[in-house]
Chains A and B, each alone.
Chain A
C-alpha cells in the first residue's frame, strides 16, 4: 500500500493530477510529523524543499512577507472573531453589553438540554447527508454524460455551471416559488400527480425542498471537479477495457470511478462544509427554518438566535459547537475514508 501510494509523486502527470495530489499531500505532512509511517507523503517534502530553494532564497523574510496578507486576513476575519465567539459563549450578556455575567458553560448546558437544539442537530445531519449524496450522485451522472457527448459539449457544460453564478438567495426564492403549493407551477404538477405537496405545512416536504435547492446550487461545483478528474483518467486504460469488451457504464464504474476516489473524497468534505455553513441563504429564502423547525439547520439557528433573538451567549456557544461538529466531521472523514481512497492508480 505504502509503496503503491508513493509512486505517483515522482511521476510527472497532468497538472490537474498534480493539484489533486497536492491536496492529498498537505494533510499527509502533519501525519508524518506525528510519527506515523502509514502515510505516503515522504517523497513530497523533498520536492517542496527543492521548490523553496529554487524560489525563495534562504531567509524566512520573503516567505513571511508573501504569507502576510493571507495571515492578516485570517487574523482579522477568522482568529479574532473566533476568539470573540469563544469568549462570548461563556457569557450571558444583554445585546448592548451593559450587563455581562460570566456563566461558565451554562450556555452549552442549556443548549444541549433543549429539544429545539437537538432537533436542529438531527435536521442538519439529514440535510447534509442527503444533500451530499444527491449532489455527488447527480454530478457524477452529469460528468459521465459529458464524456459521452460529442456535439455541443461546451454548451452542455456551460448550462450545468450556470446555477453556480446565481446568488443563493435568488436560487432559494426561485425554488420556493416553483414549489409553492398555492401558486408554484411545479407544485401544481405534483398535485396533479396526486401528491399532497405542501412544504409550508409538512416538515418532510420542507426538508426535501431545501435539500433539493441546496443540492441544485452545488451540483456544478462537484461537477467541474469530476469532469476535470475524468480527463485525467488515462485513455490507454479505457481503451484497453473497451478492447476487452467493457461497455461505457462498466468502464465508468470499474475504472473511472475508483480513479476519481481522491476527488470524490475531497468533494465529500467540501459538500459537508457547504451544507454546514453556506446553505444559510437558501434556508432563509425557502423556509426560514420552518415549518415547526423542520429546516432549522444549525447555521440558521446561530443566525436567528444571535441576530433576531439577540441571545448572543447562546448564539456564540452554538457557533463554537457548529465549528467543532464541522471539525470532527472532517477529521472522521479523513480518519476512516481517506484510507479507503486509492491515491495511487
Chain B
C-alpha cells in the first residue's frame, strides 16, 4: 500500500514536471486480500497502471470480506462508493439485487471492449452471471481439492488416496490404526463449502429447489433429504473415532496438515502459496472424493471473489474501470495470477496458455482445480448456488452441524433444523426482494 501511494505520488510528480499532460483518471478498488495475496494483488494493479498512461487503479485493502462488504455498504449509503469492490461468492444475490451495481458485461460492452465471456470456465461463468450475462468480473476463483501427505499413504501401503469416500475411509482408518499419523484428516474451517456444498455438486445432489435457486427467489433448501445427511454422519463418526480432528480457534487447520500431524486436508486450491511455503512434509493433492455409486462425478463449484462495479460514477471513470476489467480478463493476466496465487485461471484460453507453457509439468497439483471444475457438463445441481442471505443460512447450518459433532443432535434432526432455519432466512430475503429485477440500467 505504501509503495502504491509512493508510486502514485511519483507519477503525479512526474506529470506535474512535464507540464499540462493529460491527467490520469483515478479509480478505487476495495479488496479483501491480505498478506501474500494482498502483495500479489498490488503487483497486478501496478502492472495495469504501468501498462498504459490514461488510468490509475488504486487498490485499497479494507480488511476481510465482511469488512469490505460493510465498508462498501456504508460508502454507498453515504453516496461515496468506490468504483470497484471485491465481494465473496456468498454475497452474489445481495449484490445482484442491491440496485447499487452496474453489471460488468453491460459496462465492458458499452465501452467497446471485446471480452469473450463465453470463454470463461463454466462453473465460474454460471456462478457470476445472471441469465447468461456476467454480473461481476470473476477475479479470484477457487475450488476445494484434496491435499494429502504422500509419506503417510506410502507407509500404509497405498499409492495415493482413493477416489471414493468409501475406499478413502478405509485408508484413513488404516493409517490411524497403524499409528502412522495421529489423525487421518482435519476438519476444514469452511467445511460447509467443501464437504457439504461442493460434495452435493460433485455427487449430483440437489441443495435447494428451483435448480439451487437459479430459477427464482422461491427456492427452498432440500439437503436434509439427500446424501448430505449421511455425509454429516460420516464426519461425526470420523471425529468420534479420532480419524478426524478439529483444529479449533487459535490454530489453523492447515497447520495440522502442513506439520505432518494429520494425513489429509480438504481445502481450497488457493492455499497452494501457503502450503508450498509452510509444509515440512512431502505433500501432494488430488481430486475431491466422490460417492461410490456416483460415477462419473460431476464438477465442483467455485468459491472466492469477483469484482463488482458500483453505480454512481462519471463516464470517464467507467472508462478506466472497463479498461482494468479488460486487463484482468486477459489470458496473460490470468495465467500470472494463477501462478502467483493458486487461484484458477478463469478462462479456457488462459488455462490453455498455462498448459502450453508447460506450467503444470512443474506444478501438477495446480491443474487439479481447473480439471475438477471443468469436467463434464454442469447440471442444475453442480452449476452453483443462488441463495439469498447465503452467509446467514450457512452459519445456521454450521451451528447445526456443530450440534451433531457435540453429540446434541442426530444428523437427520440437525439437517432438518438447518433446512428449516435456512428456509425462514430465504423467505425473508424473498419478501424483501420480491418483484425486484437485477440491474439492467446501462451506465
| Chain A complexes with chain B | yes
Query: Contacts A287-B249, A292-B406 hold; do A182 and B433 have CB atoms under 8 A apart?
Result: no
Q: Is the CB of B432 within 8 A of A99?
A: yes
Interface segment out of the listed B66-74, B128-136, B279-287, B314-322: B66-74
**In the bound complex, how far is the Cα of B369 from the Cα of A175, in angstroms?**
37
Q: Is the CB of A291 within 8 A of B73?
A: no
Q: Which residue of A lies closest to B99 (CB)?
A: A98
Q: Which of A182, A184, A291, A307 has the most CB of B within 10 A?
A: A182
User: Which residues of chain A have C-beta atoms less than 8 A from B405's C-beta?
Assistant: 201, 291-292
Q: Is the CB of A177 within 8 A of B250?
A: yes
User: Which residues of chain B have C-beta atoms less than 8 A from A310's C-beta?
Assistant: 69-70, 73, 94, 389, 391-392
Kindly supply a per-residue 1/0 record for chain A positions 157-182, scoring 1 wherever the CB is within 8 Å of any chain B CB and 0 otherwise. Answer: 00000000000000001011100111
Q: Is the CB of B248 within 8 A of A181?
A: yes
Q: Is the CB of B250 within 8 A of A98?
A: no
User: Which residues of chain A have C-beta atoms less than 8 A from B239's C-beta?
Assistant: 201
Interface segment out of the listed A27-35, A88-96, A129-137, A233-241: A88-96
Interface size on B, residues (CB 8 A): 41
Q: List 13 A-B contacts (CB under 8 A).
A: A95-B94, A98-B98, A98-B100, A116-B399, A201-B246, A202-B406, A290-B399, A291-B403, A291-B406, A294-B406, A304-B395, A310-B392, A311-B392
Q: Is B431 an interface residue (CB 8 A)?
A: yes
Chain B residues packing against A (C-beta within 8 Å): 66, 69-70, 73, 76-77, 94, 97-100, 239, 245-251, 256, 261, 389, 391-392, 395-396, 398-400, 402-403, 405-406, 408, 421, 424, 428, 431-433, 436
Query: Contacts A201-B405, A307-B66 hold; do A180 and B249 have CB atoms under 8 A apart?
Result: yes
**In the bound complex, how far is the Cα of B99 from the Cα of A92, in angstroms?**
16
Query: Contacts A95-B73, A309-B392 hold; do A293 and B399 have CB atoms under 8 A apart?
Result: yes
What's the nearest-Cβ distance from chain A to residue B407, in Å?
8
**In the bound complex, how far is the Cα of B398 from the Cα of A203, in angstroms?**
14
Q: Is A275 an interface residue (CB 8 A)?
A: no
User: Which residues of chain B have C-beta atoms less than 8 A from A98's C-beta?
Assistant: 98-100
What's the nearest-Cβ distance from chain A to residue B32, in Å?
13
What's the nearest-Cβ distance from chain A to residue B416, in Å?
13
User: Which residues of chain A have C-beta atoms less than 8 A from B261's C-beta?
Assistant: 182
- 9 interchain residue pairs of minimum CB distance: A176-B250, A200-B248, A309-B392, A98-B99, A292-B402, A292-B403, A177-B250, A291-B402, A96-B98
Chain A contacts with B in 274-318, Cβ cutoff 8 A: 285-288, 290-294, 304-305, 307-311
Chain A residues packing against B (C-beta within 8 Å): 92-99, 101, 110, 116, 173, 175-177, 180-184, 198-203, 285-288, 290-294, 304-305, 307-311
Q: Is the CB of A94 within 8 A of B245?
A: no
User: Which residues of chain B have C-beta atoms less than 8 A from A99's C-beta?
Assistant: 99, 432-433, 436
What's the nearest-Cβ distance from chain B to residue A195, in Å?
16
Q: Is the CB of B432 within 8 A of A309?
A: no
What's the nearest-Cβ distance from chain A to residue B196, in Å?
16
User: Which residues of chain B have C-beta atoms less than 8 A from A286's C-beta?
Assistant: 249-250
What's the nearest-Cβ distance from chain B to residue A201, in Å?
6
Query: Contacts A291-B406, A292-B399, A308-B391 hold; do A200 and B249 have CB atoms under 8 A apart?
Result: yes
Q: Is the CB of B256 within 8 A of A94?
A: no
Q: Is the CB of A92 within 8 A of B406?
A: no
User: Which residues of chain B have C-beta atoms less than 8 A from A101's C-beta?
Assistant: 431-432
User: Which residues of chain A have C-beta atoms less than 8 A from B77's C-beta?
Assistant: 96-97
Q: Which residue of B lies closest to A304 (CB)?
A: B395
Told that A292-B402, A309-B391 touch, could you supply 8 new A-B pairs with CB distance under 8 A? Answer: A94-B432, A96-B99, A97-B77, A110-B424, A182-B248, A201-B239, A293-B399, A311-B428
**In the bound complex, how far is the Cα of B395 from the Cα of A292, in angstroms?**
10
User: Which residues of chain B have C-beta atoms less than 8 A from A305's C-beta?
Assistant: 392
**In the bound complex, how far is the Cα of B70 from the Cα of A15, in angstroms?**
47
Q: Is the CB of B250 within 8 A of A173?
A: yes
User: Which residues of chain A have C-beta atoms less than 8 A from B249's C-beta?
Assistant: 176, 180, 200, 285-288
What's the nearest-Cβ distance from chain A to residue B349, in Å?
35
User: Which residues of chain B have C-beta atoms less than 8 A from A94's C-beta?
Assistant: 94, 97-98, 432-433
Q: Which of B249, B396, B431, B432 has the most CB of A within 10 A?
A: B249
Q: Which residue of B lies closest to A175 (CB)?
A: B250
Q: Which residue of A lies closest to B262 (CB)?
A: A182
Q: Is the CB of B250 within 8 A of A96?
A: no
**In the bound complex, how far is the Cα of B283 from the Cα of A320, in angstroms?**
51
Q: Which residue of B lies closest to A311 (CB)?
A: B392
User: Which residues of chain B have C-beta atoms less than 8 A from A293's C-beta?
Assistant: 399, 402-403
What's the nearest-Cβ distance from chain B to residue A64, in Å?
32
User: Which residues of chain A have C-beta atoms less than 8 A from B98's C-beta?
Assistant: 94-96, 98
What's the nearest-Cβ distance from chain A to residue B237, in Å?
14
**In the bound complex, how far is the Cα of B70 from the Cα of A201, in angstroms?**
31
**In the bound complex, how far is the Cα of B421 from the Cα of A293, in angstroms?**
14
Q: Is the CB of B436 within 8 A of A309?
A: no
What's the nearest-Cβ distance from chain B to residue A306, in Å?
9
**In the bound complex, how far is the Cα of B406 from the Cα of A175, in angstroms?**
21
Q: Which residue of B lies closest to A200 (CB)?
A: B248
**In the bound complex, how far is the Cα of B110 from the Cα of A323, in angstroms?**
51
User: Which residues of chain B have C-beta atoms less than 8 A from A95's C-beta?
Assistant: 69, 73, 94, 98
User: Which residues of chain A have C-beta atoms less than 8 A from B392's C-beta?
Assistant: 305, 308-311
User: Which residues of chain A have C-beta atoms less than 8 A from B408's C-beta?
Assistant: 203, 292
Q: Which residue of B lies closest to A92 (CB)?
A: B432
Q: Is the CB of B406 within 8 A of A203?
A: yes
Q: Which of B70, B250, B261, B421 has the most CB of A within 10 A?
A: B250
